[in-house]
Chain A
Amino acid sequence: MRSLRHRPHSLIGAIVVLTVIAVYALVVPMLTGTNPGLTDFAAAYQPPSGSHWFGTDLAGRDLFVRTAAGLRVSLVIAAVCAVASAVLGVAVGVAAGALGGWVDRIVMRLVDGINALPHLLLGIVVVALYPGNLVAIVASIALTHWTQVARIARAEVRAARSATYLEAARLSGATRTRIAITHLVPAAAGQGIVAVILLLPHAIWHESTLSFLGLGLPPDQASLGTLLQDARAAVLTGAWWTLLFPAAALVVTTLAVGVVGAAVRDRITPPLPERAIR
């Protein structure tokens, strides 16, 4: 697949989509007159219409507003998890890569151990210990995903450590601290940022899964997962809109974030020498 450097259309499209989604998720729930929790049982399971663009759910709540609220909650949780994973992962990864020796070995065995466990099960265990607790949900996602970031950060640092250009820097008089700041941290941070962006879709899915299984947020609180949980039963009664819109929001968001993440990664990776002329 050609790098996105040469195919800006998909990147521009993804950015446009993400902007629309961000506006939708952030602005709609804040508009006066909208309340995702407003129930109206008389209007339950109404198909999409002029007054309810996305239809209504089992409690008569307007799905246009509710999906926006759910999207916002899911995005916020995912962002917090991604940042927490990244901070933890970069810190541990850079330390392991820079220090080497037994520190590196112990850290990598720990990473391998965590990676060996099915992360969803691990996440379920954490939330089961503290049911309904938002911090537990964030922790369950962060604790299972920081290892990917740590691996990438450590690999960058280790590759940089044996590089000739670091030797050249040492010879020009740079102290070890200076080298770490000007060379190692930017290398690790660049890939760390990419890892964060690419973690976001996964975090969104993880939270949605937990909520879908009833282990995340309580059902009356809107999140993409709880909306999908509601849709499970509703679809059987023919209310297709209760499934379509939250699911579409989930898929479109994760795809768009993935495209942007890949573009950021391509931009950050130093390009190969141009072979046009030698």
Chain B
Amino acid sequence: MTTPALTLDGLTVRIPTAAGTVHAATDVDLTLTAGQVHALVGESGCGKSVVGAAICGLLPRAATVHGGITLHHPGSVDVHLEGAGARTWRKVRGRRIAWIPQSAATYLTPVRSVGDQLAETCRHLRSTHTPVALLTRVGLEPAVAGLYPHELSGGMAQRAAIAFALAGDPQVIVADEPTSNLDPDLTEQTLQLLRAAADAGAAVLLISHDLDTLPAHTDRIAVMYASRIVETGPTAAVFADPWHPCTRDLLAALPSGGLHPIPGMPPTLTDLPNECVYHRRRPAPGFSGGPTYIAQHGDRSVRRLIGAVS
């Protein structure tokens, strides 16, 4: 039984900067399901972190958001988060949507112990959990509560960050590249913790570029390129048989795919045209570029050129 926990419907984020308007996300459709780990991948600069930030209400103030961000809860009314004010976000952040940042240690106050900060979080979220219980749940010794952030190793800090995220029993957990600086053992442990959180009922969005680890630890995957989603589907199926050329090229760049670099550079996201941008980078015979749409085939979808023969 799949209960959607969060739906993104045509999410479009534009961020004005000194260099022009950045098309951070365009027409993103994504559904996060309770109990599943959903991966979001793409080259650096494709906009995946912005999608995560939009879900948690952490976009810069100047950003404009169009489209829908809807939080569902069985038995209660949907919460529309696009354009929500600070008061709504205060009720939602931590309690219903939690964020696990990259480089966790820098997100903690350096002058207070981990346990102290975790207790404050639990108090603020009126959580039923105790700091020690949360630390144990993520595999840390109770003694860690007395340590200061600079005394934590990278792996311990990452697990502590997960403990903070779980404090409020959130429905949705967004993890922004939680394993990027970790060695293989710690990466495995972190991903298992996220899987455990999903098994306990949360919908987990894992933003990552550690593609090799994903088939074993995630249920579905969405691939982004230049602010748009280009392919979605069950992770194992997409890895075994990628449909979009961008996905194929990403998998070929992995060591397991042969370490083939993708020619050219990803486009800067200012003023992108409303057509197939990947085609301009990797022109393929028989394709002429142009506007695209998302074609749905069962539980997989892929971005196709309008008018192209499949």
- Direct touching of A and B (C-beta under 8 Å): yes
Which residues of chain A are near B44, meaning CB under 8 Å?
A: 278
Expressed in whole angstroms, the Cα–Cα distance for A49 and B155 within the complex equals 75
* Interface: B128 (CB within 8 A): no
One of B45-53, B69-77, B107-115, B228-236 at the interface: B45-53
Asked whether A277 lies within 8 Å of B269 as measured between CB atoms, the reply is yes
Q: List which A197-211 residues lie within 8 A (CB) of chain B.
A: none
Q: List which A247-278 residues lie within 8 A (CB) of chain B.
A: 274-278
Expressed in whole angstroms, the Cα–Cα distance for A85 and B45 within the complex equals 47
Q: List which A130-166 residues lie within 8 A (CB) of chain B.
A: none
Q: Which residue from chain B places its CB closest to the CB of A5 in the assembled complex?
A: B18
Which residues of chain A are near B15, meaning CB under 8 Å?
A: 276-277
Which residues of chain B are near A278, meaning CB under 8 Å?
A: 44-45, 49-50
Name the distance in Å between A16's Cβ and chain B's nearest Cβ. Answer: 24
* Interface: B257 (CB within 8 A): no
Which residues of chain A are near B50, meaning CB under 8 Å?
A: 277-278
Asked whether A276 lies within 8 Å of B45 as measured between CB atoms, the reply is no
Point out which of A275, A277, A278 has the most chain B C-beta atoms below 10 A from its C-beta: A277
Expressed in whole angstroms, the Cα–Cα distance for A278 and B45 within the complex equals 4
Name the distance in Å between B98's Cβ and chain A's nearest Cβ. Answer: 19
Which residues of chain A are near B45, meaning CB under 8 Å?
A: 277-278
Q: How large is the interface on B (under 10, 10 to 19, 20 to 34, 35 or more residues)?
A: 10 to 19
* Interface: B17 (CB within 8 A): yes
Which residues of chain B are near A276, meaning CB under 8 Å?
A: 15, 17, 22, 24, 60
Expressed in whole angstroms, the Cα–Cα distance for A276 and B22 within the complex equals 8
Name the distance in Å between A4's Cβ and chain B's nearest Cβ. Answer: 15
Which residues of chain B are near A275, meaning CB under 8 Å?
A: 60
Expressed in whole angstroms, the Cα–Cα distance for A276 and B24 within the complex equals 8
Q: Which residue from chain A places its CB closest to the CB of B16 in the assembled complex?
A: A276
Contact bitstring A165-196, B, C-beta under 8 A = 1, else 0:
00000000000000000000000000000000
Expressed in whole angstroms, the Cα–Cα distance for A276 and B49 within the complex equals 9
Contact bitstring B54-71, A, C-beta under 8 A = 1, else 0:
000000100000000000
Which residues of chain A are near B49, meaning CB under 8 Å?
A: 277-278
Contact bitstring B6-26, A, C-beta under 8 A = 1, else 0:
000000000101000010100
Name the distance in Å between B15's Cβ and chain A's nearest Cβ. Answer: 5
Expressed in whole angstroms, the Cα–Cα distance for A277 and B17 within the complex equals 10
Asked whether A277 lies within 8 Å of B60 as measured between CB atoms, the reply is no
Which residues of chain B are near A277, meaning CB under 8 Å?
A: 15, 22, 24, 45, 47, 49-50, 269
Q: List which B226-271 residues lie within 8 A (CB) of chain A.
A: 269
Q: Which residue from chain A places its CB closest to the CB of B227 in the assembled complex?
A: A277
Name the distance in Å between B249's Cβ and chain A's nearest Cβ. Answer: 20
Which residues of chain B are near A274, meaning CB under 8 Å?
A: 17
Expressed in whole angstroms, the Cα–Cα distance for A217 and B60 within the complex equals 54
Q: Which residue from chain A places its CB closest to the CB of B48 in the assembled complex?
A: A278
Name the distance in Å between B220's Cβ and chain A's nearest Cβ. Answer: 22
Q: Which residue from chain A places its CB closest to the CB of B62 in the assembled complex?
A: A276
Q: List which A66-90 residues lie within 8 A (CB) of chain B.
A: none
Which residues of chain A are near B17, meaning CB under 8 Å?
A: 274, 276
Contact bitstring B198-234, A, C-beta under 8 A = 1, else 0:
0000000000000000000000000000000000000
Expressed in whole angstroms, the Cα–Cα distance for A232 and B45 within the complex equals 65
Name the distance in Å between B185's Cβ and chain A's nearest Cβ. Answer: 26
Expressed in whole angstroms, the Cα–Cα distance for A277 and B53 within the complex equals 10
Name the distance in Å between B197's Cβ and chain A's nearest Cβ. Answer: 24
Expressed in whole angstroms, the Cα–Cα distance for A278 and B15 within the complex equals 13
Name the distance in Å between A141's Cβ and chain B's nearest Cβ. Answer: 36
Name the distance in Å between A5's Cβ and chain B's nearest Cβ. Answer: 10
Expressed in whole angstroms, the Cα–Cα distance for A276 and B17 within the complex equals 8
Q: Which residue from chain B places its CB closest to the CB of A275 in the assembled complex?
A: B60
Expressed in whole angstroms, the Cα–Cα distance for A116 and B203 within the complex equals 58
Expressed in whole angstroms, the Cα–Cα distance for A275 and B50 within the complex equals 9
Q: List which A207-264 residues lie within 8 A (CB) of chain B.
A: none
Name the distance in Å between A261's Cβ and chain B's nearest Cβ. Answer: 24
Name the distance in Å between A3's Cβ and chain B's nearest Cβ. Answer: 14
Contact bitstring B265-301, A, C-beta under 8 A = 1, else 0:
0000100000000000000000000000000000000
Q: Which residue from chain A places its CB closest to the CB of B269 in the assembled complex?
A: A277
- State the B residues within 8 Å of A (CB): 15, 17, 22, 24, 44-45, 47, 49-50, 60, 269
* 10 residue pairs A–B, Cβ–Cβ below 8 Å: A275-B60, A276-B17, A276-B60, A277-B15, A277-B22, A277-B24, A277-B47, A277-B49, A277-B269, A278-B50
The 7 closest A-B pairs by CB, nearest first: A278-B49, A276-B15, A276-B22, A276-B17, A277-B22, A277-B24, A277-B269
A275-B60, A277-B22, A277-B269 are known; give 7 further A-B pairs, CB within 8 A: A276-B17, A276-B22, A277-B24, A277-B45, A277-B47, A277-B50, A278-B50
